[in-house]
Structure 1
Amino acid sequence: MTLLVTGGAGFIGSNFVLDWLAQSDEPVVTLDALTYAGNLENLASLQGDARHTFVHGDICDRVLIDRLLAQHRPRAIVHFAAESHVDRSIHGPGAFMRTNIEGTYTLLEAARAFWGSLQGGEREAFRFHHVSTDEVYGSLGSADAAFTETHPYEPNSPYSASKAASDHLVRAWHHTYGLPVVTTNCSNNYGPFHFPEKLIPLMIVNALAGKPLPIYGDGQNVRDWLYVRDHASAIRAVLAGGRLGETYNVGGWNEKTNLEIVHTVCDLLDELHPDAAGSYRRLITYVQDRPGHDRRYAIDARKIERELGWRPAETFETGIRKTVQWYLANADWVAHVQSGAYRDWVARQYGEAAPSP
């Protein structure tokens, strides 16, 4: 009884691995290419733990995948590995096509061959769990109903288009070949080990450094926010009881504008780590909106609650406080991930931030 977790050194993947091994003795094999967002420090607490095996490798490497499946004979593949940042996909879409589409195809074919070799209970128990995003559904108007699992796919960025393609591949491999798959589409995650190019960790890290807090456009873009450990518990629930071939939306029931998020982070930092120069809100700046910026995402997570009894344990207020506290307590982790290349990318992406009105 073993899990193979792809992308398990990234933000969501590492939180899942840590959460899984905190609650189970079932071993985990983590496969990660350790690109800029994959970080072995996320899994440092598992060093020397016999239940965890780390493999440095690429999901596009079929020979490697076949070898891992034959050696470890996992009962499930939990597929997190993906390029996931919209801004990076706009500047360099090729990496997203390779990892998110070609990589998923490679995994599916390897999983199909492995599953085909199984017999009896092992064959019945095997699962391919594909982790995806609400961004495949496109953008909502302010009065539109939240995304359900039957909402049409309308991806608007190279990133979301590549994830939509991977979702379709997973669906096709189930319907054509019978591969036992489940898919989850989650809303915006936040929490420990989040790489500081995304909104919440970027605001925390920049505020502590006294740097501008860049907000795209008018700051009124809306996202649903999900604490990452809640996401991990949802994946456990779907892996255990999800119906084959089904999709489950996973959300936090927390719709917030980007400006609300930044104000909340600033206010928590004012409380937990006050700055003699005044409120961190003084650092808020507005920058030119990115191309094709979706206005609103919202997840209707009633299906997973109805079928599997899952609801998030954290409110946004409890989850964001835990997140800010984690970053304050883990300054060394932040310093280690902020390489020169990362700093150059942030400067190029956000440019000279305009003064806050």
Structure 2
Amino acid sequence: MSDADIKISIRNLYKVFGDDPLPALQHVKDGMGKTELLETHNHVLGLNDINVDVPAGKTTVIMGLSGSGKSTLIRHFNRLIEPTAGEVWVDGENILEYNDKQLRHLRQHKMSMVFQKFALFPHRTVLQNAGLAPSIEGERESKYADEARKWLDRVGLYGQGDQYPHQLSGGMQQRVGIARALTSNSDVMLMDEAFSALDPLIRTDMQNLLIELQAELQKTVVFITHDLDEALKLADHLVVLKDGLVVQQGEPQHILLHPADPYIEDFVSDINRARVLRVRSVMDRTTDVSGDHAGEIDHDDTLESVIALSEGDTKLSYRVIKNGAPVGVLNMRKLVRALVPSEQSGDPESARRSG
């Protein structure tokens, strides 16, 4: 990525929680891990030398198990948490150098946040909650109402503006939270476990809504989750944390096909690879698609859909098309090999790491 493609850049970021974090930080830099730091110095290592670039106009998903540091990390993006060391660059400026006025402007105009617990004001109507950002700026409801109503309609809450949060379901309340973020007109949306408290069917609806909105608006979204299926569905760029460390980051399809660590291998081992992997990740790239093929498929089709199309015939191959132009060939035998996790498929590098 060029500098122009990067919206947020995290550099050498550390966070140590405790009464005297700077001496504890030196122990971390000397190689001490999270468990030992807590046992010997009674300090908690939240983040350990994080380096992440967030691409502009894309969805970056930060995932990990409980205690991995993902929620701590996202709160550094808008300085809700101050780091022990490191830099946070937004649009080419290190926000750790911001004064209070600049920081308020960042939070009110550049970054909006959608929380797991909705964080709606119970005494405000749905419309007033959606228009929170302009109301904080002193705008009257009559001035921001049309903009707030537009986004409420867009997230599926047409006609709900006069309701109060307690009159809405959990899924509807989270839609208000998304409408509020959109009404603020910020470039960046920070979403901390935004869908994890929702029922599975509602959660799927919200994921689909976010994908639909992102295709239209191309915001810079940073999304926190502990759910790999959700991460793979939403992410353009995936960052996996463990114990405050970045274990692997990159394009989700690449991580799934090429896990860099046994921890990642464990994470992806139970994934339905046919449902998640796309044709573009396993095809042979070529513009010469001459020859006898069973038909055409799109580069973004899932392998599951190709298996259904081929009726499981491994002797077939397909021309791969992107935007009407040929970009590759997919052989069904190669597709089948991609469905087997690397440590089971004879990948010598994976076998070396596991052994």
Q: Same fold (TM over 0.5)?
A: no
TM-score, length of structure 2 as denominator length? 0.26
Q: Which has the larger radius of gyration?
A: 2
Structure number with the higher strand fraction is 2
